[in-house]
Each structure stands twice: as structure tokens, then as C-alpha cells.
Structure 1
């Protein structure tokens, strides 16, 4: 009995040292090689600083809307809603988002709305939207800002991030970067 207890204590101490010390320092070392030493990617616009790798709330009609967030874009409380696709509360929430999107964008039909415009990401902090999500908002923004749709289409193309190595993941657009570029248009 004593022998098994001692083995358990040694295993606990070894895992404690490894995961609380060695592994943590290893991850910290990797973060130091990342942009901004793992402190996030900062973007400045109009004298304000933003984290461009964390979702921001854009709901004004003159901007491209961001993806909904289950945590109200709070980076300290990252997470999804944990409600399944058949949950009545979740379905009501998605329907409310669809209705709101249709009111803001009357030129499109409900079946043309990309899923990422009405569903929150797993983290609730996704800074990106799909290219299709940006394109369905062009008519509204062109009308509100009195800009040619072609200019907005070009802006979308310029801000589209291609998949990693051309293979991994979909094309995407960082909403913050797109809206900053939109404000710079004349």
C-alpha cells in the first residue's frame, strides 16, 4: 500500500513540475516568436488602438457587420453559447439575427444570408467573416456612404486573406481591417 501511495505522489509531483513549469515556459517561448510577442496584433486607427485578432462589434449601417458573439466580444470570457442547433432559445436567437440582418439589408433574401452572419463562432471572438458575408453587405454600405459598389467590391478583394498555403481553410476577411480601409476611401 505504501509503495502505491509513494508512486502516486511522485507522479503528481512530476506532472506538476512539467505542466506548471516546463510546459508553460515552452509555450511562453513560442509566444515570444509570434507577432507582438504573443500579446495580440495591434492596429491603430484615428488615434485608437484595437486588437485586430479579436472580434470587434460593428453594427452601424455604414460599416461591414462583424460576426455575432455569444460573449459580447469580451476576450476575458471567450466561449460559445453551448446551445445545440435544435435548442428553441438558440433558434429564436438566430431568427432574430436573420430578421435584423434583413431589415438592415432589404435587397437580399433570407436564404442568401451566410451562416457566419447569424451564428456566433466557438470562441465568440472571431475577427473574420467570409467573403460572401462581406459581399452581401455591399449594397447597404454603398447606399449609406454614397460609394460605387465596384469600389467596395475592389476593397473586399484587396482585404481578402487567402487560405494558408493555398490549401488550409477558407478565404476570409478581417472585419476591423476592412472597416478601417473603408473609412480611408474617399
Structure 2
């Protein structure tokens, strides 16, 4: 599994969850080398920057929290470096930190066995989501997933919104 945008809050959790749920190998990709250096402790087997993306070419699954031009530029090097272009790669589009639009080169769709799918409300059947939820909730509740988040009262949103933090902020009423 390759995780694009692994240095963000969701990407950090995705590394841990992927390993807990059986991913044999997790490659974490991001831009921030200081944050990338911390991801092995969370279970990443390898960390790479986007300019080395072809090193993850044989991933079966890509979790993409980035999208935009960064993903569009990563796609072709990933696909053309695959040892077996007939081996399926499922690209799961989750976030769009780098942009809402990604210009996918047509050769990416013709030259490899690529499936692009979305992840969000409506893309997963509720029964499938509910089937996985108990195991995920248990992993979170028992601390097997390091969630870097903290609650902030809604009346402190002005201060928290502009604060520099790597944590996910959860605003509560």
C-alpha cells in the first residue's frame, strides 16, 4: 500500500490502520522530510518523497489524500515503473489537499490496469462501513492507533484556528 499525504493527520492514522488490518507493506509518501522521518515508528515500512514515487510502483493500493497536480504527476511514473503493468492497482481518492482537479494522462488508463475509486459518503455501502466499524472503534479505544488530536471548545475557535499544530483539532460545542 502507498499512502500519498502520509504526513498529515489522516495519513498518519492510515499507516497504523493499514498495518493493523493486514497490509503486508506500507509506503508513506509526503513532502515534509521531518514528518516522514517519524512515520516508521507508526508502522511505515518505507518513506519516500514525491520525487522518488517510482520506488512504490508495485503497490496494489494507493490511498490518496493529496489529489490535484501532485497526484496527476505521480500517477504516470508509478504506473510505468511497475514490474507487471497487468497487475491491478486501485487508486483510492480520499482528500484534495493539493487541489480539486487532477489531469489524469490518458496513457495512465490505457497502459496499466488502474482503477480509480472515491472514498466518501456514498462511495461505500453503509452495511460495508458498519461491518468494519467495530474493529476500528476497538483499535482506537484501546490506543492501538495513535490519534494526534485534541478537543477545543467551540468558543475558542479563533485562537485554535490560527495556531500552528500538527494535531487534528476537534471543535466541541
Band of TM-score, shorter chain: under 0.3
Higher share of residues assigned strand:
2
State TM-score, norm by structure 2: 0.23
State TM-score, norm by structure 1: 0.22
User: Higher RCO, 1 or 2 (CA under 8 Å, sep at least 6)?
Assistant: 1
Which structure: larger Rg?
1
Higher share of residues assigned helix:
1
